[in-house]
Each structure stands twice: as C-alpha cells, then as structure tokens.
Amino acid sequence: MRFFMALAETLHFGRAAERMNMSQPPFSRQIAMIERTLGVKLFERNSRSVALTPAGKHFMEDCRNVLGQFEDACRDVRLVASGMKGELRLGFMMHAAHSVVPELVQLYAKARPDVRLVLDERTPTEIDEMLVAGTLDAAVTFDCGYAPHLQTVLLARERLRIIMREDHPLATVGQIYPEKLREEKVIAAPAATAPALRSAINSYFSAKGIVPHVVLEPRLQHTIIQLVAKGLGVALIPASLCTGMGTGLISRTLTDAPQLDVVLRAPMTTKNPAVSAFMEIGKSIQRTSL
C-alpha cells in the first residue's frame, strides 16, 4: 500500500521508487504485482505518462485511511506500553471516596489524560480479592497489614470519631472516653467485610477491657450511618466521613482515638504500565497530607 501511495502521489515510477528507497525496476514489478493480486488496473500508463484509473483514485482514499490507522495503531500500542494511554481499574472503599480518591483521580487524569480510569467502589475484602484476581489494577483501602505480593503507598492516617443522634445522652459531652461506651449499642461493619476497621474498633475497646455491644453488623458504611440516624446505636467511623452526614447526627472526638492507615495498593507484579505513575501520584499526595 505504501508503494501504491508513493506512485499515486508522484505519478512517476522513478521518483516513487526513490521515495521507497529502491530502484525503479523492482518498484515497477511491485506495482504490477499489486494490480495482479487485486485483479484491478490501478494506473493507466504508457512510456510517457502515468495516471490513476477511477478504481485507483478510489483505492488511494482507502489506502490513505488504512495507512493512517496503521500508523496510529503502532503509535498507540507504544503509548499503552509506556503507561501514557490505556485503562486503569481502581477499586476503593466508600470511606476513601470522601477523602483522598477525588484528589487522586483528578491529579492522575491531569497527568495521564489518555488513561481511562474505571472506578469501582467495593468493600475492603472484595478489594483484596479483586487485587489478587487481577480484576483491579490498584485500590485505595485500609492497610490490613501483611501483603507481600502487594506494593503499598500510605496516603493518609485517619482517626475514628464516634457518631450518634444529636438527641443521644452523650451528645452533650465534648470528648468521649471509651469507658463511657461500655453500655452503648455499637453498630460496626463485620470483620469479614472490613477487617482493618473492625479490628481497630475491637482493639480500642479491648484495651480498656471492654467488650462492645455490637448490635448490628451492616456491610456498607452507608447503612451504618442510616442506622445510627434511626437511633439504633452509635458507630465509630473515619473522621473524613463525619462531615455532611445530614441533619440529626453529630460526631465527637474519641480519647486515644484509633488510627487507620489509608493506603494505595497494587499487585507487585502488575502488567499494567499505567499503574506506576498512579503510585507516584499516591506518594505525592502522601507528602502533602501527612
């Protein structure tokens, strides 16, 4: 096709051959072969002039397209391999949607506008499974410790706060000691859904020798807040979620509040070259937020 285009544009075998870095005789043969293969005369030629047939004129348009798309494909595959283009599937837990994810996504979209970000909100356990399954390229979740096959970037530290209805007896207290919660009904996600969060809550109580009354274990953070609003108990949630919960709910600082690490994680052996830049953005956020 490049041979054909060279001749179609120059209408001169010698110059077209030169453009293709070859001598005229083999070039003539190539053109003849193309015509023979297609079974179509593309050029009307005698020893003094070369002209396109109607079929050749039409073919020229098509060739221009095909060659252009071919070049684009070769360029793009290099861009994808370099991580400048492609797709990145990012999982994140609901807590992160309110804090670090928007900033992370915005910065990355600016740095890599041609990478399509597929966002997928999941529970922490789902995230872990999807990371090892390869369904996700990276994820924002709580640090649940040991994970040798994952690379980890610390994004932020979040303290837990307690939330309750504004008509709750403890609402008048400014800062709440754990002992005050001995008799409270607590709502918390099950360990199977959010191990890091749940274990932080459990440790917080057990350090004071308290066994919390966990009355409800919804899987979604959203549901927990709703249930607290209905007056079914109190809950310990990350500080970043305590703004804009809606009316009727208040949050209070906890004494020696448990701290959770929000991390960006990706498989060590990821094949997606778009991930590394994403991890770098994560590190830059870490520097500004800690």
Partner DNA sequence: TACGATCAATGCTTTCAGGGTATCAGATGG
Partner DNA sequence: CCATCTGATACCCTGAAAGCATTGATCGTA
**Cβ closer to DNA: 49 or 203?**
49
- Out of 97, 273, 277, 279, the only residue in the binding site for a copy of itself (CB under 8 A) is 273
Interaction between residue 159 and DNA (CB under 7 A): no
Q: Does 4 bind DNA (CB under 7 A)?
A: no
Site residues for a copy of itself, 44-103, by CB under 8 A, read: 44, 53-56, 58-59, 62-63, 65-66, 69-70, 72-74, 76-78, 80-81, 85-87
Stretch that binds DNA, among 22-30, 83-91, 114-122, 170-178 (CB under 7 A): 22-30
Closest distance to DNA from the beta carbon of 201 (Å): 41
Report residue 206 as tokens.
């057990």
CB atoms within 10 A of CB 57: 12
Complex with a copy of itself: residue 86 or 124, whichever CB lies closer? 86
Between 74 and 290, name the residue whose CB sits nearer to a copy of itself: 74
**Is the Cβ–Cβ distance between 95 and 121 less than 8 Å?**
no
Please state the closest distance from residue 149 (CB atom) to DNA, in A.
17
| CB nearer DNA, residue 25 or residue 113 | 25
* Contact with DNA (CB under 7 A) among 9, 23, 51, 206: 23
Question: Which residues, numbered 68-87, are part of the site for DNA (CB under 7 A)?
Answer: none
- Tokens 């740095």 sit at which residue? 111
Bridge partners, residue 115, by sequence: 86
The entry of DNA, a copy of itself, none that residue 247 binds, CB within 5 to 8 Å by partner kind: none
Looking at residues 155 to 194 of the shown chain, list those that interact with a copy of itself (rule: CB under 8 A): none
Please, which residue, 10 or 202, has the CB nearer to DNA? 10
Query: Footprint of a copy of itself on this chain (CB under 8 A)?
Result: 1, 38-42, 44, 53-56, 58-59, 62-63, 65-66, 69-70, 72-74, 76-78, 80-81, 85-87, 271-274
State the residues that interact with DNA by CB under 7 A: 11-14, 21-33, 45-50
